[in-house]
């Protein structure tokens, strides 16, 4: 909703939302039903139409890693850790899921973890 208001105020045409299928059971706002409802709400919120772009909503983290590798994403420059700091902690849920995604994708994880 906040991003929608910001997009309308800036006359932006699209909001990118990085929810993925692995988060569906943990976070209700990552389900396809939520994104469909949010698209509808954005369409009703203002005369200026804003699209909710959700390219990963039906992909697993491993799928996203595979696609990123195809696009030569510099994974060492991406961030997942909830703890913040200069280095991934390696222990929080997202760090664990990141490691698993690279392993499942069969791609070397270039991430530097503190644990």
- Dihedrals φ, ψ of 51, to 5°? -90, 140
What pTM, to 2 d.p., does this model score? 0.81
- Dihedrals φ, ψ of 14, to 5°? -150, 145
List the pLDDT tens digit at each of the 115 positions of the chain.
899 999 999 999 999 998 888 776 778 888 888 889 999 999 888 888 899 999 998 899 999 999 999 999 999 999 999 998 899 999 998 899 999 999 999 999 999 999 9
CA-CA-CA-CA dihedral for 23, 29, 17, 10, to nearest 10: -160
**CA dihedral sign, ordered 34, 23, 27, 110:** negative
């Amino acid at each position: 909703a906040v991003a929608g208001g910001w997009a309308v105020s800036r006359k932006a045409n699209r909001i990118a939302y990085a929810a993925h299928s692995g988060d569906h059971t943990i976070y209700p706002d990552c389900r396809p039903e939520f994104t469909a409802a949010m698209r509808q709400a954005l369409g009703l919120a203002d005369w200026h139409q804003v699209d909710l772009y959700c390219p990963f909503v039906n992909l697993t983290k491993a799928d996203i890693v595979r696609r990123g590798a195809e696009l030569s994403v510099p994974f060492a420059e991406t961030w997942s850790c909830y703890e913040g700091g200069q280095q991934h902690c390696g222990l929080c849920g997202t760090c664990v899921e990141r490691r698993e995604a690279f392993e499942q994708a069969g791609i070397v994880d270039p991430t530097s973890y503190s644990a």
